[in-house]
Amino acid sequence: MRETLADWRPAVDEAIADLVPREIDTDYLESFFGTPTYEYDPTGIQRALATPLWDLLDRGGKRWRAVLFLVFIEEFGEDPAEYLPYACIPEILHNGTIIVDDVEDGATIRRGEPALHRVYGRDIALNAGNAMYFLPLKILTQDPAGLPADRRLAAYEMLMHELNRTHLGQGMDICWHNEREVRITTDQYLEMCACKTGCLGRIVARLAAIITDQPPDVERAVAEYAELTAVAFQIGDDILDIEHSLGQAGEFGKEFGNDIREGKTTLMVIHAIQESEPERARRLQEILETEDNTDDEILEAFEILTAAGSIEYAREQALELAAQARGAIDGLDFDAETTRKLEEFTEFVIERDE
């Protein structure tokens, strides 16, 4: 799957540049947004939208959502190259959520460099992030594949449903972040992940199924696969935050102990508080509540998580979700190569080191 990601990434970036060019001019604005009522300001739009977007994209990211979409498209009997514009939809949505998420979390680092709101200001970052929820919808409007009206409508309705659920997930995450006590259950945490991260995965799979006119049972199966894989990815991301901080993983592009500093409620935190002695559980909550943690406090929190077996517990849960994802597509008549890629991907999202 790593090879597939590497092969497709340049083409995905080129397709994104067709949607949002690196250099904004009046011709682009008029062709994409229509004739102005008075006069556009290309320079202002460049600084407020294109420059921040490409700053983030050029820092890295594997484009796995776009590439997974193309894997499905190929399996559904279509030429992936013909559907590259549609592959941009989940990728741009994802990067928009990153920008807004970093503002809401007060993050300092993203992909190894200062978070966008620390470079361009909160106002520009929020506007750019929010714009990235809507820009991809223009692809359905432009309709490069010449889809029938009913498929375009189904794609619109699906996107609206899934995007609304992403905000449910983000709302839960923000609420837990602001509370002093970790009170949630494992199932509530997993539901948050299913909304916040899983819905973007579902968009990948459902969009591919809808625009290629797959039957409902196929759409449901690939959506379940993508959602479970995305939740496993989120848990793997939380594990990697700790392993990177302890020098056990590759470059991760976030601050040392990022999740602890943000007071983030993760599956590992929930497990450690449930399984630790009351005094140690209280101490972990104190560290999570602290506004500015020292490195020693971060390491102390890691020690509590490790002693409770919470890191391994989370890894086991992620592996189980990955197995469930593979099971979701067992009944589909996919060819051997597609099945191999999809199975490898469920392993990649957990075992990656960056």
Q: Per-domain residue ranges for the chain? A: 1-146, 147-354
Residue range 155-179, pLDDT digits in tens: 999 999 999 999 999 999 999 888 8
Buried b (16+ CB within 10 A) or exposed e, 238-250: bbbbbbbbeeebe
CATH code of the region 1-146 = 1.10.600.10
**Measured distance CA(255)–CA(152) in Å, rounded:** 41
Q: Which of 66-75, 172-181, 313-322, 340-349 has the lowest mean pLDDT?
A: 172-181
Confidence at residue 249, expressed as pLDDT on a 0 to 100 scale: 41
- The pLDDT tens digits for 318-329 are 999 999 999 999
pLDDT band at residue 259, thresholds of 50, 70 and 90? confident
What is the average per-residue pLDDT within 136-153? 94
In 3D space, the residue among 221, 233, 236 whose CA is nearest the CA of residue 326 turns out to be 221
Closest to 165 (Cα-Cα) out of 193, 128, 143, 139: 193
Residue 297 predicted with pLDDT over 70: yes
pLDDT, one tens digit per residue, over 43-61 is 999 999 999 999 999 998 7
Q: What pLDDT sits at residue 258?
A: 80
147-354: CATH topology: Farnesyl Diphosphate Synthase (1.10.600)
pLDDT digits (tens, 9 = 90+) for 328-341: 999 898 999 999 99
Q: How confident is the model at residue 93 (pLDDT cuts 50, 70, 90)?
A: very high
What average pLDDT does the chain have?
91
Average pLDDT over residues 288-305: 90
What's the mean pLDDT in 272-285?
94
Burial string for 118-151 (b: 16+ CB within 10 Å, else e) reads bebeeebbbbbbebbbebbbebbeebebebeeeb
Evaluate whether 1-146 and 147-354 have a shared fold: yes
